[in-house]
């Protein structure tokens, strides 16, 4: 495993409202990093030794939980039980997610799993370790894989480990895998393989964030309502007269490498591989979440200093028309996209970014009805593709 794909493990104690047991397959050469990603805190706070592992019975390519010797009675909300089995030529982890109050279940409690023989398979690419400010990527992916497993065989894998499994499944879903600049060589190779004949969700021919931030220059030149963007100081006159500017890496994400500078400092910044935008005043940021060509919900941050403290937003007809023009411009055949915009004091919206690779969905903030409907629509979209 190269340093490019290295990760720093950290225990997490997380909260969920799941009522049922979920079972997944997690695969990859570096499977050890997954084995510590989402375990509950055992009494010692360390990986359990062999003599304190739960007892498993391997039967018909499945796991039955028979008993467990040492469950923590502290506020552990989610525990991963892991058994490493070799049932094919590749190492595989069969993982059962259990509620932390497992000790309250009957001692012979055995989760049920539908017959997998009729299911199609999905390779779900994510980084269960990636930590993003204000967002819980791992919770979102655990939730989505949990609901998808009702209809599909789910294999979870990091993008750096995916190549050997890509041709063994019916569909590849690329989700919360962190900034691809952290593993660009792997990602570029992945995109090349997908565009050579693999089926992916989203497709890897998007013109927006999939390609970096170059598209903001294109949209500016074409007259779209976007925060004005340049890449050369000779074009500075194309931007409004402001006191400060934002300098962003073209291949950046999550504000990595972003600088806020005044006019004098801007002339001293190396702009190769970067874009420049005015630092503008706005009322709030709002995000529009699409599946295929249809808007499904909107969220906004009423406090602009807290980008990810989001609340439900009722989009107007003008808002929807604003967002849809960018979905139409990008022209993806299928997938999930998020249109991020800022509301100006005069009421206008300007595009901040069009996330067409792996947009975070903030699905945990939705009402139960809205979240359930989104899942139905997500599954319907996948079914059309697969």
Residue 105, judged by CB atoms within 10 A of its CB (0-12, 13-18, 19+), counts as: middle
Residue 365, judged by CB atoms within 10 A of its CB (0-12, 13-18, 19+), counts as: middle
Distance from C-alpha of 323 to C-alpha of 288, rounded to nearest angstrom = 7
177-210 tens-digit pLDDT = 988 888 999 999 999 999 999 999 999 999 999 9
Cα–Cα nearest to 363, from 338, 340, 341? 338
Three-class SS string for 179-228?
A: CHHHHHHHHHHHHHHHCCCCCEECCCCCCCHHHCCHHHHHHHHCCCCECC
Mean pLDDT of 223-234: 96
pLDDT score of 254: 66
Distance from C-alpha of 4 to C-alpha of 64, rounded to nearest angstrom = 37
pLDDT score of 117: 54
Element (H, E) at 274: strand 274-278
Question: Domain 282-367 adopts which CATH fold?
Answer: D-amino Acid Aminotransferase; Chain A, domain 1 (3.30.470)
Percent of the chain with pLDDT over 70: 69
Is the pLDDT confidence value at 309 over 80? Answer: yes
Distance from C-alpha of 234 to C-alpha of 246, rounded to nearest angstrom = 16
If one compares 97 and 361, the residue with the highest pLDDT of the two is 361
Mean pLDDT, the chain, whole residue set: 75
Confidence of residue 304 (pLDDT cuts 50, 70, 90): confident
Mean pLDDT of 17-39: 35
Q: In what order do the strands lie in the sheet with 274-278?
A: 259-262, 244-249, 274-278
Is the pLDDT confidence value at 370 over 90? Answer: yes
If one compares 133 and 45, the residue with the highest pLDDT of the two is 133
Whether 31 and 108 have beta carbons less than 8 Å apart is answered as no
324-334 tens-digit pLDDT = 999 999 989 99
Mean pLDDT of 276-289: 96
Mean pLDDT of 336-358: 97
Confidence of residue 248 (pLDDT cuts 50, 70, 90): very high
Map out the domains of the chain as residue ranges. Answer: 3-201, 228-278, 282-367
Q: Are strands 171-174 and 55-59 parallel, antiparallel or unpaired?
A: unpaired
Count of alpha carbons within 13 angstroms of residue 239, beta-carbon side: 24
Cβ neighbours of residue 263 under 8 Å, at least 6 residues apart? 243, 245
Q: What are residue 171's DSSP bridge partners?
A: 122
What does pTM read for this prediction? 0.73
Is the pLDDT confidence value at 31 over 60? Answer: no
pLDDT score of 4: 58
If one compares 140 and 59, the residue with the highest pLDDT of the two is 140
pLDDT score of 43: 29
Q: Give residue for tokens 């903001």.
A: 216
Percent of the chain with pLDDT over 90: 57
Cα-Cα end-to-end distance for the chain: 31
pLDDT score of 79: 32
Tokens of 224: 């779209």
pLDDT score of 181: 86
140-185 tens-digit pLDDT = 999 999 999 989 999 999 999 999 999 999 999 999 998 888 899 9
State how far the alpha carbon of 126 is from the alpha carbons of 130, 167, 175, in Å. 9, 18, 5
If one compares 21 and 197, the residue with the highest pLDDT of the two is 197
Confidence of residue 129 (pLDDT cuts 50, 70, 90): confident
Cα–Cα nearest to 170, from 383, 338, 343, 20? 383
Provide Rg for the chain, Cα atoms. Answer: 23
């Amino acid at each position: 495993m190269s340093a490019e794909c290295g990760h720093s493990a950290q225990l997490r104690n997380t909260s969920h409202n799941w009522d049922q047991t979920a079972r997944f397959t997690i695969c990859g050469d570096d499977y050890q990093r997954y084995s510590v990603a989402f375990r509950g805190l055992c009494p010692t706070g360390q990986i359990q030794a062999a003599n304190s592992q739960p007892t498993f019975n391997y039967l018909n390519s499945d796991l039955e939980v028979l008993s467990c010797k040492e469950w923590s009675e502290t506020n552990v909300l989610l525990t991963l039980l892991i058994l490493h089995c070799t049932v094919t030529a590749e190492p595989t982890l069969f993982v059962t997610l259990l509620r932390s109050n497992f000790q309250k279940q009957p001692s012979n409690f055995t989760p049920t799993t539908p017959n997998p023989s009729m299911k199609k398979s999905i390779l779900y690419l994510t980084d269960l370790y990636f930590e993003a400010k204000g967002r819980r990527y791992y919770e979102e992916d655990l939730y989505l894989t949990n609901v998808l497993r009702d209809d599909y065989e789910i294999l979870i894998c990091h993008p750096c480990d995916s190549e050997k499994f890509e041709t063994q499944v019916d569909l590849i879903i690329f989700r919360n895998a962190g900034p691809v600049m952290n593993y660009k060589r792997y990602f570029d190779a992945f995109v090349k393989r997908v565009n050579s004949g693999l089926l992916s969700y989203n497709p890897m021919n998007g013109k927006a964030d999939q390609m970096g931030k170059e598209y903001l220059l294109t949209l500016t030149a074409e007259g779209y309502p976007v925060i004005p963007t340049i890449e050369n100081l000779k074009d500075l006159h194309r931007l409004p007269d402001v006191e400060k500017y934002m300098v962003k890496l073209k291949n950046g994400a999550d504000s990595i490498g972003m600088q806020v500078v005044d006019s004098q400092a801007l002339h001293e910044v190396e702009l190769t591989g970067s874009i420049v935008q005015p630092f503008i005043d706005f009322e709030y940021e709002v995000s529009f979440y699409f599946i295929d060509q249809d808007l499904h919900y909107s969220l906004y941050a009423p406090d602009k200093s807290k980008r990810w403290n989001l609340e439900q937003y009722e989009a107007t007809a003008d808002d929807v028309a604003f967002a849809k023009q960018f979905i139409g411009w990008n022209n993806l055949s299928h997938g999930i996209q998020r249109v991020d915009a800022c509301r100006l004091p005069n009421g206008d919206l300007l595009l901040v970014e069009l996330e067409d690779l792996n947009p975070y969905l903030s699905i945990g903030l939705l009402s139960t009805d809205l979240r359930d409907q989104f899942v139905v629509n997500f599954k319907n979209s996948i079914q059309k593709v697969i």
